Chain A
Amino acid sequence: MANNNSPRAPLQQWHRRVGMTGAVFFVFLITTGLLLNHTGALGLGKRLIQTPWLLDLYHISAPEPPVAFSAGEHFVSRLGDRLYLDTKELPERGEHLIGGLKLGDTLLIAIPGKLLVISPTGELIERIDSADGVPAGMKRIGITASGQLVIRAAHGDYLPDLEKLDWRKSATANVDWATPVTLPPELEEKLMQAYRGSGLPLERVILDLHSGRIVGQWGVYVVDGAALLFLALVITGLWMWAKQRV
């Protein structure tokens, strides 16, 4: 039992109070620190945050509005530089979406310098680019009544044979050009959520919790304060231990 008349008593009381006050912080810092130490094993970098209020806290918002084209029963859209088939993100980025349409059993997406052949389930079948002869300066893509693809490019209209990679130039009438459409509200909402939910890994949140940055600069000061308390505990603890030995 501590002797209150001892010269060490005020220091012991202070040490105890600081320890009790800082306990919550210490547990918190130790837990987040341990989690960060095993980021790879726990896959924290791959787990993406989907919680709306946390995404709001990080000011992660989707750029508006999405550019979309109807392709059969699907929608092809671009949000920022990301491309989607319905809500599935495609493994290709593009700053501009020229068009999208259904071509036979597949879907075709045109972005500058490239045509993407996509399966109805959103797998990238093939990427056809300028090395394969895609005409420069694509402006629109469309389809004739007989199902022939038409590309309007900088130097005229082309009727390509994508099987043979043959790019015939030809003037064509009665083309159903791919034109931007408005997405159904529920799909647009899901798309926004998919866009927002693909940019914030759990590792980032834990790192910011550990440093206090999650609540801004004041959070960092609070964690600094906790660190100073911890330092004070070490010093006072060592001091009392040294005095006991004398």
Chain B
Amino acid sequence: MAFPRTLAFLALATIALSAHSAAQGIYQTPEDFLREAFAGAPPEPSKLWIDEKLKPGIRAILEHDLDVLRLRYWGKDGRTAWILEEIGKERPITTGIVIHRGAIERIKILVFRESRGWEVRYPFFTDQFTGATLGTGQQLDRDIDGISGATLSVRALTKVARLALLLHAHSDFADGKQ
């Protein structure tokens, strides 16, 4: 019968479209993330120059160079906050990361633009990074469990977590620099 088939098709299309729209969005503005990270009073931004000493490490983590020479970050009392972007499959994922004394304190997806892999925004996934540090070979000191169907997003998020730890170590707020 054509009518029930049409209804079923429309129902499936609605579910697919709503899942697609749920995937993309601004989950938190960078301003709000920074306000939350620094108890309502974010410090003035600092700048980190991507010099020749830092470039090889960045390239090893991202598998490409950063296309800018300078990054902004926010730092206070041994903590730094970074707003970083990395492409999952096709579009950049904007991530906020807070590092405290060389370990990840918090990681949050702020803007997700891909059509798949949005599950990486949920705490069940991001909580795995809490407390992670940079180990040998600039790898995280722990394994991060993947999510089936979100492999590229997981990979992108793991890369920015490692990058934030590396950048923190070169910031003015790294251990031993203050």
Contact = CB atoms under 8 A, between A and B. Distances in A.
A119 B72 CA distance: 17
B69 A131 contact: no
Nearest to A165: B45
B7 interface: no
B168 to A, nearest CB: 19
B68 A125 contact: yes
A91 interface: yes
B70 interface: yes
Contact of B69 (A123, A132, A133, A164): A123
B45 A124 contact: no
A132 B30 contact: yes
Contacts of B44: 164
Interface in A129-147: 131-133
Nearest to A119: B69
B67 A133 contact: no
B83 interface: yes
B72 A165 contact: yes
B45 A125 contact: no
Given A131-B94, A132-B30, A133-B31, A126 B68 contact: yes
B69 A125 contact: yes
Contacts of A127: 68
Interface residues of B, number: 15
Nearest to A132: B72
Nearest to A161: B44
Contact of B70 (A125, A132, A133, A165): A125
Size range of the interface on A?
A: 10 to 19
Interface in A75-127: 91, 117, 119, 123-127
Interface in A189-204: none
B30 A126 contact: no
B34 to A, nearest CB: 10
B30 A91 contact: no
B68 A131 contact: no
Given A131-B83, A164-B44, A165-B45, A126 B67 contact: no
Given A164-B44, A165-B45, A131 B30 contact: yes
A9 to B, nearest CB: 65
Contacts of A117: 70
Nearest to B67: A91
Interface in A142-166: 164-165
Nearest to A123: B69
Contacts of B83: 131
15 contacts: A91-B67, A119-B69, A124-B67, A124-B68, A124-B69, A125-B70, A126-B69, A126-B72, A131-B30, A131-B111, A132-B30, A133-B31, A164-B44, A164-B45, A165-B45
